[in-house]
């Protein structure tokens, strides 16, 4: 039935008040010969329930005992059939469905029978006009859909037409390839299921669901743009735009799906170049400062120390000068891998540039002395690991590291101050003969 349920709920309430009835139902007979509730008053009764079989439309009203037999069982169970009465009428009959009204009184109506029937028939006539107008709009939609679908077919993006109600939708070739459908007209239920299944595959499915719910709850009157669907099972990212359409009064929506995978890849590459070292793929100085500021803020909440560790490779310049930059690059890559294997998942390994690396540790002890002991212990593990010879392409090479440590708790120090303290301690380790570590002391 094209008329909205919300509108029919209001009409049911008005008719119930006019007739003095206890329950009014606007019903529609489906192809199964069962009638389904389309409007009801009181609103809390029967919403979504199927009614027993209703005979095809005729000009005659169904009243009395015959009408009572057609009532929903949950209604019959609530009334005294000896005192109750009911009236059923059909507003319109067509090849697809009948529509009509059912009024129920748990006791005898106060309105005279003649006036009651007259008012009831007037309501049926009004419903008939609504049904005829809705049918005309459906016919207008069918006349215009060919033009709309042709436009969607020509679009370079994936295009989906989703009419309101149960009217068939349309997907062009690009959209069909995303959804696993055949291009052309698609049954409304099948299209809805395909869209749902496809959206569930997005890595940000929950976020999408929330945004779409807001769009629908706001009435879907204004275009929704900027939705990005990210997929992991297929290398693809889609930009999704929803726009309302209203051809000849039949409301629906246009979905546009634009493949932005190349744009996404370019964006990720720019992100990588901005925050990661191109040789070792470790975070760079810029990302280190961002992470360090957050780590210092987290230590305020946890009241646990953290440590900034700077290490400088010994004899790196000798390797570059004697065996070439390729050997030096290979050493830097191998050092980065060895460092990453020694730290916890929430610790950060950074390449500052040249032969300098940084490790940021979090969640050390709340006690100053114990935190210092923990930091020196981990730094010693790093020093010992880097002392083990590296197997380069042109032969073995042994290096070592000079390591400086600075502790932090909260934001008593700025990141720059902390970095300078760690750097100072590292140079103290170098001056002590290299292959050593030093903790900065205030």
pLDDT at 120: 85
pLDDT at 407: 96
Q: The pTM is what?
A: 0.45
What mean pLDDT is predicted for residues 29-51? 67
Q: Could you say which DSSP state residue 349 is in?
A: E
**With 70 as the cut, is the pLDDT of residue 296 above it?**
yes
Beta bridge partners of 158: 257
Q: Which fold has domain 155-260?
A: Beta-Lactamase (3.30.450)
What mean pLDDT is predicted for residues 272-283? 83
pLDDT at 442: 77
Q: What is the pLDDT of residues 70-123, one digit of tens each?
A: 777 777 777 888 888 888 888 766 555 678 888 888 888 877 778 788 778 878
Residue pair 406/425 in contact (Cβ under 8 Å)? The answer is yes
**With 60 as the cut, is the pLDDT of residue 266 above it?**
no
Compute the distance between CA of residue 307 and CA of residue 374 in angstroms, rounded to an integer. Answer: 10
Residue pair 89/98 in contact (Cβ under 8 Å)? The answer is no
Pick 83 or 223 by higher pLDDT.
83
Q: Could you say which DSSP state residue 202 is in?
A: B
- CATH entry, 276-439, from 3.30.70.270, 3.10.20.740, 1.10.357.10, 3.20.20.70: 3.30.70.270
Q: Could you say which DSSP state residue 441 is in?
A: -
Residue pair 305/439 in contact (Cβ under 8 Å)? The answer is no
Q: Does domain 5-137 have CATH number 3.40.109.10?
A: no
Answer yes or no: same fold for 5-137 and 155-260.
yes
Domain boundaries, given as residue ranges, for the chain: 5-137, 155-260, 276-439
Residue pair 111/19 in contact (Cβ under 8 Å)? The answer is yes
pLDDT at 259: 84
pLDDT at 6: 66
Compute the distance between CA of residue 45 and CA of residue 65 in angstroms, rounded to an integer. Answer: 22
Burial of 278 (0-12, 13-18, 19+ CB in 10 A): exposed
**Which position has the token pair 């303290």?**
421
pLDDT at 37: 80
Pick 333 or 273 by higher pLDDT.
333
pLDDT at 5: 59
**Torsion-angle region of residue 435: left (phi > 0), alpha (psi -120 to 50) or beta?**
left
Task: Tell me the C-alpha to C-alpha distance, in Å, between residue 184 and each of 174, 193, 196, 395.
Answer: 11, 16, 19, 65
Quick one: what percent of the chain has pLDDT higher than 90?
A: 33
Pick the range with the lowest mean pLDDT from 177-191, 213-227, 288-302: 213-227
């Amino acid at each position: 039935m094209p008329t909205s349920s919300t509108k029919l709920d209001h009409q049911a309430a008005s008719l119930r008040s006019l007739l003095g009835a206890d329950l009014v139902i606007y019903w529609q007979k489906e192809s199964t010969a069962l009638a389904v509730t389309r409007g009801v008053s009181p609103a809390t009764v029967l919403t979504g329930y199927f009614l027993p079989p209703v005979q095809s439309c005729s000009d005659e009203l169904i009243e009395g005992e015959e009408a009572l037999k057609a009532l929903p069982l949950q209604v019959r169970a609530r009334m005294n059939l000896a005192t109750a009465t009911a009236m059923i009428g059909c507003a319109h009959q067509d090849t697809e469905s009948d529509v009509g009204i059912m009024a129920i009184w748990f006791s005898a109506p106060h309105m005279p029978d003649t006036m009651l029937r007259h008012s009831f028939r007037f309501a049926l006539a009004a419903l008939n006009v609504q049904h005829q107008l809705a049918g005309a709009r459906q016919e207008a939609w069918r006349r215009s859909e060919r033009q709309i679908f042709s436009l969607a077919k020509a679009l370079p993006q994936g295009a989906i037409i989703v009419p309101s109600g149960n009217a068939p939708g349309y997907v062009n070739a690009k959209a069909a390839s995303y959804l696993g459908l055949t291009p052309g007209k698609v049954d409304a239920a099948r299209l809805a299921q395909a869209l749902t299944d496809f959206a569930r595959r997005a890595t940000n499915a929950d976020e999408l669901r929330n945004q779409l719910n807001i769009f629908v709850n706001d009435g879907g009157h204004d275009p929704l743009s900027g939705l990005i669907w990210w997929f992991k099972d297929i290398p693809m990212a889609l930009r999704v735009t929803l726009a309302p359409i209203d051809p000849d009064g039949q409301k629906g929506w246009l979905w546009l799906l634009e493949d932005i995978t190349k744009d996404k890849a370019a964006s990720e590459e720019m992100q990588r170049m901005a925050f990661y070292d191109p040789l070792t793929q470790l975070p760079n100085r810029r990302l280190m400062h961002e992470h360090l500021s957050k780590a210092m803020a987290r230590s305020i909440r946890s009241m646990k120390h953290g440590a900034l560790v700077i290490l400088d490779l010994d004899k790196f310049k000798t390797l570059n000068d004697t065996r070439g930059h390729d050997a030096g690059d290979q050493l830097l890559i191998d050092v980065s891998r060895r460092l990453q294997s020694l730290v916890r998942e929430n610790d950060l390994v950074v390449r500052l540039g040249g032969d300098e690396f940084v490790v940021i540790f979090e969640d050390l002890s709340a006690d100053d002395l114990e935190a210092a002991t923990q930091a020196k212990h981990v730094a010693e593990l790093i020093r010992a690991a880097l002392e083990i010879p590296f197997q380069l392409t042109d032969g073995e090479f042994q290096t070592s590291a000079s390591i400086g440590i600075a502790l932090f708790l909260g934001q008593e120090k700025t990141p720059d101050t902390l970095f300078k303290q760690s750097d100072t301690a590292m140079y103290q380790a170098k001056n002590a003969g290299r292959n050593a570590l030093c903790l900065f002391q205030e």
